[in-house]
Amino acid sequence: MASPNQITESNLQISGSLWDQVIAKSQQALVCGALQSISTTQEKLEQNDLMFIVRVCQKIAKKQAMTSKTAGNPFLPYEENLFVADLPPSHVALLNKFNVVEHHLLIITRHFEAQESWLTLSDFTALAQSMKQINGLAFYNGGKIAGASQKHKHLQLVTLPPIQEAFSAPIATWMTAPNLAAGILPKLPFLHAVAPLSLDWSESPQALAANFIQHYQNLYKAVGLQHGVLPQPYNLLVTRQWMLLVPRSQESYANISVNALGFAGSLFVRNREQLEQLQSIGPMTLLQHVTYPR
């Protein structure tokens, strides 16, 4: 990405594919100061021969200060400088204001729906529209206990190039055909369910969404979740190849918070002291503490 001093708002044109729009709007948002990226350093932690990437925050105080000034629902109304695209009929795509990885996209409902509510066909249609154009990792934090920071329903999408560089291990290496067929990953020592996705990405978003929601419903039934008014907290991860669902028992352990990205092998800590604590606990042990035994 070009640095802010190399571009101006006047020479940016928002057109083309969703990916083109994400790139251009990210540059524009940097220019005007709407995008407040969180600077991190990266460390690698290994447990049980599995490697995790830990991002150590450098600017958490700034994020907390800005968040306190914008108390309430930041999506109603959303910040225009973070708007990327409409996702008809009921969603919009926004940049994540406080992104840790570049080009982090939020897929939010245009009108308020609770983050604790079940994902619907329209949610998956918006997700399919996005994933048809951006090959990435989508995830959903189903409620505060699952790591959600906002009450307004939103899915998230991050692009695969940094994912592959940062944490192709452990999760991608586990996604082998025998494991997916069995519905669980043997190296994950907590309750979860996984499914392979065999999709024709030339199909319409509606057709892809119908496939998504069928797998989603099968996964939450497989882990014992019951469809009702408010589901039990859980994390959902989706790529073009697979879908993973993990029920959550608590939001954090030893004051280290975990969201869906933790189950892809990416963890976030606020400072070096928390990193040392995580080194003592172990990343997989941390995940066990915020989930249920298998």
What does the pLDDT profile of the chain (294 residues) look like in tens digits?
Answer: 333 233 222 223 334 599 999 999 999 999 999 999 999 999 999 887 778 989 999 865 454 444 444 468 999 999 999 999 999 999 999 999 999 988 999 999 999 999 999 999 999 999 999 999 998 899 999 999 999 999 999 999 998 654 444 434 357 777 877 888 889 998 899 999 999 999 999 999 999 999 999 999 999 999 998 877 567 999 999 999 999 999 999 999 999 999 999 999 899 999 999 999 999 999 999 999 999 998
pLDDT of residue 197: 93
Question: Cα dist. 35→10, 98, 268 in Å?
Answer: 17, 7, 19
Nearest to 144 by CA among 109, 123, 175, 116: 116
pLDDT of residue 230: 66
| CA–CA dist 36, 57 (Å, integer) | 13
User: What backbone torsions phi and psi does residue 160 show, to the nearest 5 degrees?
Assistant: -75, -30
Residue keyed to tokens 């790591």:
147
pLDDT of residue 221: 93
pLDDT of residue 219: 96
Domains and their CATH numbers in the chain: 39-289 (3.30.428.70)
How confident is the model over 157-187, as pLDDT tens digits? Answer: 998 654 444 434 357 777 877 888 889 998 8
| CA–CA dist 104, 102 (Å, integer) | 6
pLDDT of residue 5: 30
